[in-house]
Structure 1
């Protein structure tokens, strides 16, 4: 049995379609998703060259995690590349609900600039799936691919600006993300989308406010959700997550992208990570953590860490604070990976 849901109508004005003249014109060749080797002895939900649902030809594996896999596929009707995310319908004998929730939230967010375009979703006898816009490698991998293993102040400022905007859109519809990190951020790969940051992986979202705008009653002790390196001090203490906690994760993301790594990168125990996070901001922002190039983040850390977790974040204040990192450039100016690609092409032409 197969069920498909919500294949988007191309006449829908809220759906951002890829311009026809851009379909084969990649803007950022250096950040295109990389194929991963599919080991012969590893179980795979989809097979290379398989015609999934008689519509999408599976070209390769571009991502794999504990919850599922992401494949590169080609729409054999339109000739366009897409990403297909799949997860098993059952995990440990129970019906998997992670992607079901993710589908619901992503469809609710369609029309917003910082979520992937969705072309359809559904399930077969064995898997749940979503068919989405193909995107770049994630921001964390962009950082790793740089020779100095960090991003420029200008790039970080614009990434964080767009992250705040993306999360504001999510919070506006009543959800917190709960897993904000560089690995869950990408960019478009076509000329019209190459400067637009896309927030990914809505599998851990939780509704924090009702349709009428009232916040849900908080649990006395919440389960741990997120990635230890990026969660707030409150999450370590098992507090209910709110929009504030997403913004703290953005704060840590900014630090990692700019400096190359967080101070607790090599710590394995959650308690030790918590202690360093407390030392960084618990009693005001500690300047010992913000020497040299990291000093530009002090004001941003102050703004975020001093916010009231029980209230909506001051998004505009955070954006104004982070703009100083990239002024006088704008959000539409080229990023460093584009400039690196152009410089490489110019050098190649000179050698020829």
Structure 2
């Protein structure tokens, strides 16, 4: 049965956008439309891409933010590359680099469905640097959550984090070249679970609010819960967030997280966070635990890269990967996470001595198989 979100867009696999992008499969859906994996077929170039589609007559368009942010961060290795935007049959579209699985999928790929301390620190350091890049480019994300951090889709980028989904991004308020505190009332944006207290209070969100959301999600991914996890009322969630600060929120975290929390909660909209200090605190935890955060890979990197090698070899040998997927699916009992990046995993790896059509089949097959493998034993957090 087709979900309401999927019914919003009349496109299906096989449709061609602007005579260049062939849709392969829908990989996400939301309030504003849908996102597809697609293949770009040029005269001399072929590549996989992600295409977001939303109706032209939509009151609130997310396309403007998406394009502006990706263009502003084009030189960064932590943001998807922008390819093209435009309109097609009554829909706006944004075409960009297709990335890999989200942090929530990586967390849920194996029991106990949480990040190890090493993974948490290595992720946290990258995430702080990514947010610093975004902020220096002049934007507040306003929806920092595990679903919006993904890894790359090649062997060399399995350990590289990317920030995605800029629909709620907002430029930092400037006057005469200086950051100034907004006087207008804000609105509750983003995900309630990770929203900063300022979001609940309808205060315009600043750079420190992105970092507060990051702190909440780091605790959640490590401890598997937050003090307000079982609460739904926004006012009650705010109350618990304020009561747990400096206490229950961090009681099972390394003590350096207390200083992390103290710093970001001491800031106002116009204050620049001390990103170096925050990175230093996480690095200190790593040093105290004898972790080599610079050289040791994430635990998932070896697993994913091994599977990429297996898929490549099987494809070269002419074996059916879709049959392999069916067999694996029968052996697994999985629950699905409703995440726009849920099946957005693939690699682009040149294969010599095969036809162009076989290349497309290889990449599409790999997109499916890597999705299955990274979500094995998945359960809802």
TM-score range, shorter chain: 0.7 to 0.9
Q: Please, what is the CA RMSD of the aligned residues?
A: 2.6
1:82 corresponds to: 49
Instruction: Name the structure 1 match of 2:26.
Output: 61
Change (3 A) 1:166 1:233: same
Q: 1:109 aligns with which of 69, 73, 87?
A: 73
- Map 1:272-291 to 2 at 5 A: 272-281=236-245, 285-286=246-247, 288-291=248-251
- Distance between the aligned counterparts of 2:208 and 2:293, measured in 1? 26
Give the structure-2-normalised TM-score.
0.73
Q: Is the 8 A contact 2:36 2:52 kept in 1?
A: yes
Cα–Cα, structure 1 residues 325 and 113, in superposed 2: closer, same or farther, change >3 Å? farther
Kept in 2, the 8 Å contact 1:152–1:336? The answer is no
Partner of residue 180 from structure 1, selected from 137, 144, 161: 144
Is the 2:18–2:88 contact (alpha carbons within 8 Å) kept by the matching residues of 1? no
Structure 2 equivalent of residue 73 of structure 1: 38
Do 1:159 and 1:197's aligned partners in 2 also have CA atoms closer than 8 Å?
yes
Moved over 6 A (4+): 37-41, 342-346
What's the offset of the Cα at 1:331?
A: 4.3
Structure 1 gaps of 5+ residues are 1-36, 347-352
Taking the aligned partners of 2:157 and 2:304, their CA distance within structure 1 comes to 17
Work out whether residues 156 and 258 of structure 1, in 8 Å CA contact, stay in contact via their aligned partners in 2: yes
Separation in structure 2 between the aligned mates of residue 171 and residue 345 of structure 1, nearest angstrom = 34
Counting matched residue pairs gives 303
Superposition pairs for residues 113-128 of structure 1, below 5 Å?
A: 113-128=77-92
State which drifts further: 67-76 or 196-205: 67-76
1:136-215 superposed matches below 5 A? 136-210=100-174, 213-215=177-179
Unaligned runs of 5+ in 2: 310-381
1:321 paired with 2:281, answer yes
Q: 1:226 to 1:342 in 2, by over 3 A?
A: closer
Alignment partner, residue 49 of structure 1: 14
Instruction: Tell me, yes or no, if structure 1 residue 242 matches structure 2 residue 188.
Output: no
Alpha-carbon distance in 1 for matches of 2:46, 2:135: 35
1:132 is the counterpart of 2:96: yes
In 2, are the aligned partners of 1:177 and 1:205 still within 8 Å (CA)? yes
1:67–1:301: structure 2 CA closer, same or farther, 3 Å change rule? same
CA distance, structure 2, for counterparts of residue 117 and residue 321 of structure 1: 31
Q: Helix, strand or coil: the match of 1:145?
A: coil
